[in-house]
Amino acid sequence: MAKAPAEPTAQTERNKVWYLQRNRLFIGAVDDPIEKNEHIFTIVSYPHRTQIFDQGDSARIVYFIKKGAVRIVRMTEDGKEVTVAVLGPGDLFGEEMIFAEQPRTTTAVAIDEVLLCTAQADALFTMLSADPQLALNVAKVLSERLGDAAATMEDLAYAKVGDRLMHLFRRLANEHGMRVEDGVRIDVKLTHADIASLVGSTRETVSLELAQLVKAERLRFDDRHAVIPFKEVTE
């Protein structure tokens, strides 16, 4: 069951408009829809490893990430957990509820402590109806999620675990990467169990494969942050 969020502080409430303006939903907006609709957003926080919502939930809430990382998980028919996305600051999730009144098909879990802005789907739908650019931005997010899910399923079906790992880290480097002296550092801390869920393998197998990748200098770790050499990112 999803855990109740923590109460926001006065400081995070004051910063609400500032960081919503940096969310991908509002890229290219003609005017300032956040200022006009600030009242529909609420600040919440969740401790790390807590469930934000569960597969099958019907609450029509959309989430915007200010701080931390969130894992989006889908359970297969045979009970396996597959992580279809890892999201960070500036991303949104739960956006499918804007257009559909049906239970959620995924689970959202806080990888670390997260700070979120939430809004009721109906209120967001009204805002999108008044600004075509915002509606287009949501459509782009939905399209990318479908593409990521399809790529993940293809990897699970055909690729070796080592290849799946490198595909994963390249994608995360593109989405959450920060340039450092010797490569790109992924700004999300993941345990071996997290990574195993992302590539559809076991923690033991992933640990062995990661050790091989580190030995081959295709990857290294800095305080649980993966760092990928530039030559691997550009392949």
Instruction: Tell me the per-residue pLDDT of 54-67, one tens digit each, with 9 for 90 and over.
Output: 988 888 999 999 88
- Residue 170's alpha-carbon distances to 183, 184, 186, 231, in angstroms, are 11, 9, 9, 11
Looking at residue 173, its amino acid is A
Q: Which long-range contacts (CB under 8 A, 24 or more apart) does 212-218 make?
A: 212/162, 213/162, 213/165, 213/166, 218/166
Range of 208's domain?
159-233
Are residues 16 and 57 both part of a single domain?
yes
What CATH code is carried by the domain that includes residue 167?
1.10.10.10
Are residues 90 and 164 both part of a single domain?
no
147-154: average pLDDT: 64
Q: Is the pLDDT confidence value at 165 over 70?
A: yes
Q: How many residues does the chain have?
A: 235
Q: What does the pLDDT read at residue 54?
A: 92
Alpha-carbon distance 152 to 156, whole Å? 6
Torsion angle (degrees, nearest 10) of CA 7, 92, 60, 54: -80
Please list, in sequence order, all residues whose beta carbon lies within 8 angstroms of the beta carbon of residue 8, skipping any fewer than 6 positions away: 42, 43, 44, 45
- Residue 100 buriedness (CB in 10 A; 0-12 / 13-18 / 19+): exposed
Q: What is the pLDDT of residues 175-205, one digit of tens each?
A: 888 888 888 998 888 888 888 878 878 889 9
The phi, psi pair for 97, rounded to 5°, reads: -75, -15
Residue 125, in any domain of the structure: yes
Pick from 222, 209, 144: nearest CA to 182: 222
Q: What is the pLDDT of residues 77-104, one digit of tens each?
A: 777 777 788 888 888 899 888 887 888 8
Per-residue confidence band for 147, with pLDDT thresholds at 50, 70 and 90: low
Alpha-carbon distance 77 to 64, whole Å? 29
Cβ pair 156, 164 in contact under 8 A: yes
Among residues 101, 123, 148, the one where a domain terminates is 148
Per the structure, the count of domains in the chain is: 2
Residue 124, in any domain of the structure: yes
Are residues 138 and 173 both part of a single domain?
no
